[in-house]
Amino acid sequence: MSLIHKTAAELGALIAGGEVTAVEVAEAHLDRMAEVEPKINAFLHIDRETTVEQARAVDARLGAGERLGPLAGVPIAHKDIFATADMPTTAASKILEGWRPPYDATVTSRLRAAGLVILGKTNLDEFAMGSSTENSAYGTTHNPWDLTRIPGGSSGGSSAAVASYEAPLSTGTDTGGSIRQPAAVTGIVGMKPTYGGSSRYGLIAFASSLDTPGPFARNVLDAALLHEVFSGHDPMDSTSIDAPVPSVVEAARNADISGLRVGVVKEFGGEGYQAGVLARFHEAVELLESLGAKVVEVSCPSFSTALPAYYLIAPSECSSNLARFDAMRYGLRVGDDGTRSAEEVMALTRAAGFGPEVKRRIMLGTYALSSGYYDAYYGQAQKVRTVISREFEAAFHQVDVLVSPTTPTTAFPIGERADDPIAMYLADLCTIPSNLSGNAAISVPCGLADEDGLPVGLQIMAPVLGDDRCYRVGAAVERALESRWGGSLLSKAPAL
């Protein structure tokens, strides 16, 4: 088996044992990137020389006897929304083209401290606003399973990089499903930790009460190992939880779910759901039962109102957060010829720098927060958010985890929903409730849809700080299905 096909855990063990160097592993992945990037467009920034220097430094640290973690020397793709002092950070927007932050995000610094080697910065929907990675100012990313399909969004570059074997691991952010939905449609694992469990410091903000950094991987254990690296309290983030990181790696290795109570969310199914998605989901539920779980149906009526509530809360927060891009302090500046006022320069810069979806959400949010409409829209949406959180609490008194399809459909064709924002937003129908309540949720592959042969994801939701439950159930499903399939789901993907 070539180096690019090994798991992150296997690569870490090989490097630690001296059987291969971090430089050799990095170069193998850089070669793969050179081969497939023209088809995928998963990366916005690649610097081979810098990557090899990072790997060489890790080899030197290990050679000097420094004790690093189990992922030391393992390459990782990094979503281009995390600040990186040695690489551009653009959030896939023209307004930040070429910008180099003066500091690293906490997630970035923790990756470096653990010895991971950053391969480059990955593509995304501009400012993480989208479900398809078609909103990037630097071109669409393509799904490795079918290059005519979307890889999900907003973290589509990160999911495509892992699914196409360009990287064994990647980082993402999940504001309304932007890790779980891309993971589902590319056949990999994606985890949204408990809100506050991973630091937002140095993350370019979209919606501050929702944004959550999390891992992508090709298997549950690798995701847990990465989760453990960058999670934990950060005094630089006022919303960071000062509590121990749940034992996610131990849970992924244990995977015993006998006696576990699993709730099937009644509201996630029926009209609008692809038949093949529902078929694989029901098979996954039967599998959980066969593994010793106790399955019951759970009703959460307010989940059906999560989508409209989210599309008032998230745009409202984004309209505030994006006010900082004013052409005065950093980033793009248009029309500053000495004849225009600051307000004119600001207006010209934003018109040129922000894409259509970002402008749409800024206007929605500004309207929802405006005088006379605040209580009717934003205030009501926050009340719905509270009801959803209470329904989660009530559900978790009955069961240990909740399950649903991750997305209503498989990956849709590029361009199919570009002119229909409502249809695009529906891709996040099942994922948004967990963002509004802040609880943990993971997507793991559960098969291929009959209609198109594309991946389907199973979503597992757990209470706040119950992240280990997600990994425990996800690992159990993964082991059982891989035994049935004779390998991982990605082994069934067409060769690039």
Pairing of strands 261-265, 401-405: parallel
- Whole-angstrom Cα distance, residue 83 to residue 104? 5
Query: Are 435 and 212 in contact, with CB atoms under 8 Å apart?
Result: yes
Amino acid at 172: G
Give CA separation, 389 vs 303, 433, 436, 469, in Å: 10, 8, 7, 18
Burial class, 288, CB count within 10 angstroms (exposed 0-12 / middle 13-18 / buried 19+): buried
Q: For residue 336, report the phi and psi dihedrals to the nearest 5 degrees.
A: -85, 75
Question: How many CB atoms are located within 10 Å of the residue 1 CB?
Answer: 7
Name the 3-class secondary structure at 14: helix
Identify the active-site residue in 93, 109, 131, 154: 154
Cα angle, residue 281 at apex, residues 277 and 283 outer, rounded to 5°: 120
Cα angle, residue 78 at apex, residues 75 and 84 outer, rounded to 5°: 110
- Whole-angstrom Cα distance, residue 99 to residue 90? 6
**What are the structure tokens assigned to 345, written together?**
């320069």
Name the 3-class secondary structure at 67: coil
- Whole-angstrom Cα distance, residue 229 to residue 224? 9
Burial class, 87, CB count within 10 angstroms (exposed 0-12 / middle 13-18 / buried 19+): buried
Catalytic residue list contains 6: no
**What are the structure tokens assigned to 45, written together?**
């920034």
Identify the active-site residue in 109, 155, 178, 240: 178
DSSP secondary structure code for residue 301 in this structure: G
Catalytic residue list contains 178: yes
- Whole-angstrom Cα distance, residue 493 to residue 496? 9
Helix axes 356-369, 306-321, angle to 10 degrees: 100
Query: Are 399 and 392 in contact, with CB atoms under 8 Å apart?
Result: no
Catalytic residue list contains 299: no
Longest Cα separation, the chain = 73
Catalytic (active-site) positions: 79, 154, 178
